[in-house]
């Protein structure tokens, strides 16, 4: 009998819970990173989101673990190589193309963040809460007629490109693996030089770590905005802060930061406390009711199917 521990807690979708209940004993918990090792020690299957880092130390503390399932496309929060060395299967939403076409929440957030930056919505609302009513203080920028650069024209990048087109923006993109009939493909630096807003939708890999560094910021328009709903490590945050301070770019809106798991004080978060040209949300791209319901149920079914595939063939 499986011992399934779900670190997403009781908010795991009820329809998904019904599927998991058929597979074994299930425990739903919410805990801090420091409590994780103690809480999950008895698991054979571990279901996680992106709020915990599942490194070698965590994996090594679970002696009977045979599967890690993450309800995300990214897996950089899991030490996959170590898991595989222990013959632990890791399953995720990556490459589940047909299913993922129905999940639009992260691209919708990217659109919202771009509009927030262009219109300074956060700053304007903050001003009203202070009892002010000063409309001239918050002159923004129209997006119609501007150029939107998409870094990574995969599922989410293509959605964001469509949103840009709906706003009458010129859309260009850079992605070595995608050819599009609908949008112009350009080099990375050409995109930076031409774009009024740049939206990051590339996967985190060795080639994209610190892709946005001091050199990249020097190629961007001083009036441009950068939006990141991918992974924090794609942006060199120290170089970003310098670029913001020196007005090399106009603003940055992100749903991710460089190290979400350490618990250390983030220099970017500290910077945002005293500057209005940064917006940070706590990795909520996939956190809509509809997205959570769909992904939880899909993952529960995938775990069930994976277990069934590993069952020994019956002998007649």
pLDDT digit string (tens) for 10-62? 999 999 999 999 999 999 999 888 899 889 999 999 999 988 999 999 999 99
Query: What pLDDT does residue 313 have?
Result: 61
Helix locations, the chain, DSSP H: 14-21, 36-39, 56-60, 80-85, 97-100, 105-119, 121-129, 155-166, 188-194, 214-219, 237-245, 267-272, 289-309
Structure tokens at 193: 């030089």
Query: What pLDDT does residue 260 have?
Result: 83
**Distant-in-sequence, close-in-space partners of 306: CB < 8 Å, separation ≥ 6:** 67, 89, 91
Structure tokens at 118: 């262009």
Q: Is residue 237 within 8 Å of 211, Cβ to Cβ?
A: no
| 279-302 pLDDT tens trace | 999 999 999 999 999 999 999 999
Q: In what order do the strands lie in the sheet with 67-70?
A: 24-28, 2-6, 45-48, 67-70, 89-91
Q: How crowded is the C-beta side of 52, counted as CA atoms within 13 Å?
A: 29
Please give the share of the chain, as a percent, with pLDDT higher than 70: 98
pLDDT tier at 74 (50, 70, 90 boundaries)? Answer: confident
The hierarchical CATH code for the domain 2-94+289-309 is: 3.40.50.720
- Of 239, 112, 208, 222, nearest to 163 by C-alpha is 112
Residue 22: what are its φ and ψ, rounded to 5°?
-75, -15
Give pTM, 2 decimals.
0.89
β-pair partners for 68: 46, 90
Q: Do domains 2-94+289-309 and 105-280 have the same CATH topology?
A: yes
Q: Is residue 6 within 8 Å of 29, Cβ to Cβ?
A: yes
CATH topology of domain 105-280: Rossmann fold (3.40.50)
The Cα–Cα gap between 234 and 12 comes to: 29
| 258-275 pLDDT tens trace | 988 777 789 999 999 999
For the chain, the structural domain boundaries read 2-94+289-309, 105-280
The per-residue pLDDT of the chain, averaged, comes to 95
List of E strands, the chain? 2-6, 24-28, 45-48, 67-70, 89-91, 147-151, 170-174, 184-185, 197-200, 225-228, 251-254, 278-280
Catalytic residues: 231, 260, 283
């Amino acid at each position: 009998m499986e011992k399934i521990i779900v670190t997403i807690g009781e908010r795991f979708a009820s329809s998904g819970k019904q599927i998991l209940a058929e597979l074994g004993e299930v425990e739903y918990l919410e805990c801090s990173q420091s409590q994780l090792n103690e809480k999950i020690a008895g698991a054979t299957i571990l279901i996680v989101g992106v709020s915990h880092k599942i490194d070698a130390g965590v994996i090594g503390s679970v002696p009977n673990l045979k599967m890690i399932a993450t309800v995300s496309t990214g897996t950089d929060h899991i030490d996959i190589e170590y898991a595989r060395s222990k013959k632990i299967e890791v399953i995720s939403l990556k490459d589940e193309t047909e299913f993922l076409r129905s999940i639009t929440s992260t691209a919708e957030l990217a659109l919202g963040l771009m509009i927030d930056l262009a219109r300074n919505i956060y700053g304007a609302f903050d001003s009203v809460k202070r009892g002010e009513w000063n409309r001239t203080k918050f002159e923004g920028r129209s997006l119609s007629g501007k150029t939107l650069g998409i870094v990574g024209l995969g599922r989410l990048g293509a959605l964001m490109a469509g949103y840009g087109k709906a706003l009458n923006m010129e859309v260009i993109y850079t992605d070595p693996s995608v050819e599009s009939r609908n949008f112009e493909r350009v080099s990375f630096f050409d995109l930076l030089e031409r774009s009024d807003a740049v939206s990051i939708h590339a996967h985190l890999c060795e080639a994209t770590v610190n892709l946005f560094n001091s050199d990249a910021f020097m190629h961007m328009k001083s009036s441009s905005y950068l939006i990141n709903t991918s992974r924090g490590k794609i942006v060199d945050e120290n170089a970003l802060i310098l670029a913001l301070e020196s007005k090399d770019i106009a603003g940055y809106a992100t749903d991710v930061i460089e190290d979400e798991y350490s618990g250390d004080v983030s220099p970017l978060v500290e910077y945002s406390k005293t500057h209005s040209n940064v917006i940070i949300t706590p990795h909520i791209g996939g956190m809509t009711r509809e997205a959570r319901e769909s992904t939880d149920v899909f993952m529960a079914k995938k775990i069930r199917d994976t277990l069934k595939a590993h069952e020994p063939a019956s002998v007649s």
